[in-house]
Structure 1
């Protein structure tokens, strides 16, 4: 299983200037190569290399490996663009967004991430320093830091390339690690059902609720502040709006990490698996008013689901995905389905058997039961695995 670990670099001012110049040169070269790829319709590394490799090395002073990575980064960007166009990310073919995205070359930001392999970057874990290639020569003794657990994973399991990134004037290395998965639990005693929502971000069949009211109030205040700043249209207002957006994303990610950790720990402790709703198409299925749609679309449910999946794999906990249809309207006792079973957002009251329960807990019981049936029938499935930052 792949895990991505981010460590913070602590360069001196001279080292930081060399790193910045290197990023700018690599991204300028990649942008130029993207223009050539667009004109020559050369979107594969070997084909594009014939048109650009010599010029990239001479014009921007890149080493052999750096030039190769800049060209490959260009081809990867076009591959991603093609997939997004095919999947409708930019609207239908012929629309303005689709035409604008497909009708011009890819452009890289001056501080976009640059990949490094082991020839360009070496780690000294005991000294907590790296030796890294730059256009000004190789920098040795560049210090880095991180959490103790992250550094242990990095030293033991790092494999493959690392990306140099500059965010807000701070420097980071994002390294790929290959983590061995724990032996899977092939005989779970049951399943822990997890219902995801807005008022309660996650409710489990054990009765635990991770309330989202305070989080939603904070997000609403941040959203109003960003809207107010965007209307001013000044550079300082845009800078502040971008800062608040990044802060909210980090806070949401931290909350999702904490929730997923608790859910997986409880399932591992009790020898159970985890049953989740299939979240694909949640935006298309939802029928909500505009303010509610904004709240629904802005919360990273897929991120929470992927966090649960990868933490469960590390712990050997099986995860299954179930059909979410009518889980909120079905009685977990008699299985009668009716819209009238939900007289209020938080209340479930069965019209047939009279069973009364918190609506989210009732839904989590249904998800738990469906998860067990999926497992018994041998059709277990998990959410797609993602590369994640630890």
Structure 2
């Protein structure tokens, strides 16, 4: 099964480690950092995919570090990920200083007695997981057989070890509904990361501000050219990465929550392959953000039985949702405003686009041309259907919760 076909969760727990085992784990941390750096040094400017970096650097890691065979493989993969991120940011060659080590099911074993066995550079160590006596959120993954251990990370800080224990479970098979579905439309953009057809806005202001600030700091530090400046730049980049991931998780959760509130069986996005043409102001970073956000929404929606689809976004920013008139001058991009030249209906341009994206899934009759079976577009105050037009929630037998 492909890696993308799983839902994933992480349970963070402390580790109870003996002095001898602590020494072994600290040695592993140092060898891991060294191995990752060796792999980066080999591959930088040459290749960046996991398979390519592994083929290029694996033998050297086995010869020059004390890492076992599987940890050498994982180190080349971590190096490939770091190179890929650096390329996306047009940054400097990565340097590995963080005291962490990656594990997978070949290098760790989780036991029913709440212990974990970890591969080191020598003998394996077996540590107790430090869990709350009265139960914590970790128990729902440790006790539920549908969740299996997956890629995990050991962290060492201030003399203490913590373990970010990964779990995965197959995504439930979600088939697009065959008839009568309600769809939530989502428009992606630069100023607003996402806007839904129910008029929920997810602002990108802070994200854009931090990105611009990072680029300013990056230019200044790169001009300095010192080792201290390079270290500061890495730390700043890592902080930005953490903020971006957190923001994407928040937005994905919000979109899925919006779909649940309005009883939507479908969430529709514009096809990301068209982003470059339809959003010329979006750079490579935004294209990456949109792709990551879509993947986050997909696995969260799958857990709740909601299908996620992509539709052709062409003209969704120019078409009037009220009368259907389509014209480039309907949209004032500078003011983020949409006003129809024909019927004079007006709205925020991203909101109008989100409604059009949703309506792309809706067709007259029981099935759309895509076989999605969406019959209604969810708005904040009601539903829109091609046959009956707008219907306020107050007139429907099943209205969503008030907001």
TM-score between the two structures when normalised by the length of structure 2: 0.67
Pairwise CA distance, 1:364: 0.8
- Residue by residue over 1:300-348, the C-alpha shift from the partner in whole angstroms, topping out at 9 and shown as x without a partner, is 1111111111111100012221111121111112222211111343111
Instruction: Specify which of 199, 206, 210 is matched with residue 207 of structure 1.
Output: 199
8 Å CA contact 2:100–2:156 kept in 1: the answer is: no
1:332 aligns with 2:328: no
CA–CA distance in structure 2, aligned partners of residues 27 and 121 of structure 1:
19
CA–CA distance in structure 2, aligned partners of residues 23 and 177 of structure 1:
25
Unaligned runs of 5+ in 2: 89-94, 374-403
Pairwise CA distance, 1:209: 1.2
Deviates more, 1:246-255 or 1:279-288: 279-288
- The residue number in structure 2 matching 1:18 is 24
Any idea what SS the aligned residue of 1:310 has? helix
8 Å CA contact 1:195–1:360 kept in 2: the answer is: yes
- Residue by residue over 1:205-264, the C-alpha shift from the partner in whole angstroms, topping out at 9 and shown as x without a partner, is 112112222432343233323332232222222212111211112112212211211221
Instruction: Specify which of 117, 121, 130 is matched with residue 135 of structure 1.
Output: 121
Q: 1:18 to 1:183 in 2, by over 3 A?
A: same
Whose helix proportion is higher, 1 or 2? 1
- The residue number in structure 2 matching 1:122 is 109
- The residue number in structure 2 matching 1:268 is 260
CA–CA distance in structure 2, aligned partners of residues 320 and 238 of structure 1:
42
Pairwise CA distance, 1:178: 1.4
Q: 1:16 to 1:239 in 2, by over 3 A?
A: farther
Equivalence map 1:1-390=2 (5 Å)? 1-8=5-12, 10=14, 15-22=21-28, 66-67=68-69, 69=70, 114-117=102-105, 120-124=107-111, 127=114, 129-141=115-127, 143=129, 148-149=136-137, 151-156=139-144, 157-159=146-148, 161-164=150-153, 172-173=163-164, 175-179=166-170, 181=172, 186=177, 187=179, 189-272=181-264, 273-283=266-276, 286-288=279-281, 293=283, 296=286, 300-343=289-332, 344-373=334-363, 376-380=368-372
CA–CA distance in structure 2, aligned partners of residues 203 and 179 of structure 1:
29
Q: 1:61 to 1:301 in 2, by over 3 A?
A: closer
Any idea what SS the aligned residue of 1:262 has? helix
CA–CA distance in structure 1, aligned partners of residues 185 and 344 of structure 2:
22
Pairwise CA distance, 1:368: 0.8
Any idea what SS the aligned residue of 1:192 has? strand
CA–CA distance in structure 1, aligned partners of residues 175 and 258 of structure 2:
16
CA–CA distance in structure 2, aligned partners of residues 132 and 149 of structure 1:
22
CA–CA distance in structure 1, aligned partners of residues 139 and 224 of structure 2:
43
Size of the alignment, in residue pairs?
336
Pairwise CA distance, 1:363: 0.5
- Residue by residue over 1:60-102, the C-alpha shift from the partner in whole angstroms, topping out at 9 and shown as x without a partner, is 666xxx43x2576599799x89xx9xxxx99xxxxxxxxxxxx
Unaligned runs of 5+ in 1: 91-106, 382-390
8 Å CA contact 1:274–1:319 kept in 2: the answer is: yes
Pairwise CA distance, 1:109: 9.8
- Residue by residue over 1:113-158, the C-alpha shift from the partner in whole angstroms, topping out at 9 and shown as x without a partner, is 554436x42224664x422122232222254679944552354244
Any idea what SS the aligned residue of 1:190 has? strand
- The residue number in structure 2 matching 1:95 is none
Pairwise CA distance, 1:286: 3.7
Q: 1:200 to 1:237 in 2, by over 3 A?
A: same
Pairwise CA distance, 1:279: 1.0
CA–CA distance in structure 1, aligned partners of residues 143 and 29 of structure 2:
25
8 Å CA contact 1:321–1:371 kept in 2: the answer is: no
8 Å CA contact 1:8–1:144 kept in 2: the answer is: no
Any idea what SS the aligned residue of 2:272 has? coil
